[in-house]
Amino acid sequence: AQSVTQPDIHITVSEGASLELRCNYSYGATPYLFWYVQSPGQGLQLLLKYFSGDTLVQGIKGFEAEFKRSQSSFNLRKPSVHWSDAAEYFCAVDSTLGRLYFGRGTQLTVWP
Amino acid sequence: KAGVTQTPRYLIKTRGQQVTLSCSPISGHRSVSWYQQTPGQGLQFLFEYFSETQRNKGNFPGRFSGRQFSNSRSEMNVSTLELGDSALYLCASSTLEGDTQYFGPGTRLTVL
Return the DSSP state at B83. Answer: G
DSSP classification of residue B97: T
Q: Looking at the complex, report in whole angstroms how far the Cα of residue B107 sits from the nearest Cα belonging to chain A.
A: 9
Q: What's the CA gap between B86 and B53, in Å, rounded?
A: 27
> C-alpha B74: how far from its chain's center?
8
CA A56 centroid distance within chain: 13
Beta strands in chain B (DSSP E): 5-7, 10-13, 19-24, 31-38, 42-50, 53-57, 64-68, 74-78, 87-94, 102-103, 107-111
Q: Would you say B44 and B58 are in contact if contact means Cβ atoms under 8 Å apart?
A: yes
Q: What are phi and psi of A27, to 5 degrees?
A: -160, 140
- Residue B98's pLDDT is what? 63
pLDDT, one tens digit for every residue, chain A (112 residues) = 789 999 999 999 999 999 999 999 998 777 899 999 999 888 999 999 998 888 999 999 999 999 999 999 999 999 999 999 999 999 999 876 678 999 999 999 999 8
Residues of A numbered 59-88 whose beta carbons fall under 8 angstroms of chain B's beta carbons: which are they? none
Nearest to A49 among B55, B100, B104 (CB): B100
